[in-house]
Amino acid sequence: MRLRIAAAVAAGVAGLLAAPTAAQAAPHHGHDSIRYASIKGCKVSKDGEMKPCGKWRLVMHNGMQHSLPDAQTVALEANGKSSVWQAAPIAVSGNGQRLAYFTTSGRLAVRTLDGGVKLLAKNAVPRVAQYNVTLQLSDDGAKLAVVIGGDKPKRTRIFDTASGEQLGTLSGEETLMGFSADGDEVLTSVEGDESVTDLAVYDDHGQQQLRKTPPQIISANAPEALSGDGKTVASVVMSKKKQLVLYDMDSDQVTARKSIKLPAGDLFMIDWTGEKQVTLHLAQYPENKATKMTIVQIDTETGAVKVRDKYSFLKNTFVFAACGG
């Protein structure tokens, strides 16, 4: 979770509450799904110091913009006072159909584009500074992980977004890499013995399924993504000779290394979006210009790369959260 035209369309959140359209019947990055959420930065000093301001803006695949007036924009401190300088957390599901955020009343909420809003329990998140909270949704938005960092990290919490029920927890000492493609598992990285980094797979109730010390070609090339099979990890070597590498945690074997050709950009996100497909978000940060994002799909069998989408963020973006997948 992460940064940066025409006149915004003043549709407000009401524009998100319409009944699903035909495009939403197969919503994965359809016309009416969210590309990214963005908050504006406002200058507060002559030397260009910035702070978040305004409402969260949802930029859609069809080019429209909507505001999210019930979402907290400037993060609150643990005592409820404004942090002034930090943006509140927000997450977009991989299919661009759901959002997770703190409401202005302090509740954790999950909004679906067909109009439903689920408020989680008041005690779903302990009283901490909101800027120490990271939200991550599964690809379909059915599961939500709440990571609580800071000086004393607390256990990561996993929720069912339809019921609001807490399904399980994970150690706060492990780094959440993300949900598996089907949302039934989560992948974490763990500091192992002798300064090595392990990978671990848990089910959505927090029960460990696998833990292995992967080869360096995997561990040295984070982030990694977990397939829907709950065992196959994808990683990308972003050196001059780029490669997609697949690693089977069950057998502890590298099962594929495919040479790939990628557009310009730094690896921002990696997700499994099919049984034999991995999707990458590649970000470019040109000086004094809007951040650019290119999304590519990779066939894991052939290494073929296809550009799915590309766009520039709103020029006044202070921070953004892009959809995964």
What residue spans define the domains of the chain? 13-322
**Whether the Cβ atoms of residue 53 and residue 319 lie closer than 8 Å to each other:** no
Per-residue confidence (pLDDT) for residue 21, from 0 to 100: 29
Least confident of 24-28, 68-72, 88-92, 140-144: 24-28
Tokens of 67: 């505001």
Average pLDDT, integer, range 263-286: 96
- Pairwise CA distance, residues 158 & 9, whole Å: 35
Report pLDDT digits (tens) over 184-226.
999 999 987 777 899 999 999 999 999 999 999 999 999 999 9
Which pTM was predicted? 0.89
* % of the chain with per-residue pLDDT over 90: 80
More confident residue, 194 or 241: 241
Per-residue confidence (pLDDT) for residue 20, from 0 to 100: 30
More confident residue, 289 or 308: 308
Tokens of 75: 């993060």
DSSP 103: B
More confident residue, 267 or 6: 267
* % of the chain with per-residue pLDDT over 70: 90
- Pairwise CA distance, residues 132 & 129, whole Å: 6
Kindly compute the dihedral angle of the four CA atoms of residues 106, 103, 181, 25, in this order, to the nearest 10 degrees: 150
The pLDDT of residue 246 is above 60: yes
Which of 156, 159, 55, 185 minimizes the C-alpha distance to 98? 159
The pLDDT of residue 116 is above 50: yes
Which of 124, 119, 121 minimizes the C-alpha distance to 145? 124
Per-residue confidence (pLDDT) for residue 17, from 0 to 100: 31
**Main-chain dihedrals φ then ψ at residue 224, nearest 5 degrees:** -115, 160
Per-residue confidence (pLDDT) for residue 192, from 0 to 100: 76
Per-residue confidence (pLDDT) for residue 84, from 0 to 100: 94
**Whether the Cβ atoms of residue 98 and residue 112 lie closer than 8 Å to each other:** yes
Average pLDDT, integer, range 141-169: 96
Per-residue confidence (pLDDT) for residue 45, from 0 to 100: 79
**Whether the Cβ atoms of residue 109 and residue 119 lie closer than 8 Å to each other:** yes
- Pairwise CA distance, residues 135 & 146, whole Å: 5
The pLDDT of residue 68 is above 60: yes
The pLDDT of residue 267 is above 50: yes
The pLDDT of residue 11 is above 80: no
- Pairwise CA distance, residues 96 & 27, whole Å: 8
Which of 189, 258, 190, 272 minimizes the C-alpha distance to 229? 272
Per-residue confidence (pLDDT) for residue 287, from 0 to 100: 86
Helix (H, G, I), strand (E, B) or coil at 302: coil
CA angle 46, 51, 52 (to 5 degrees): 145
The pLDDT of residue 325 is above 80: no
> Kind of pairing, strands 277-284 and 292-299?
antiparallel
Q: Which residues pair with 136 in a beta bridge?
A: 145
The pLDDT of residue 3 is above 50: no
DSSP 71: B
Per-residue confidence (pLDDT) for residue 25, from 0 to 100: 32
Average pLDDT, integer, range 41-67: 90
Per-residue confidence (pLDDT) for residue 7, from 0 to 100: 22
- Pairwise CA distance, residues 178 & 257, whole Å: 22
Per-residue confidence (pLDDT) for residue 29, from 0 to 100: 60
At the top level of CATH, the class of 13-322 is mainly beta
Kindly report the average pLDDT of the chain as a whole number: 89
Report pLDDT digits (tens) over 19-35.
232 223 334 566 589 99
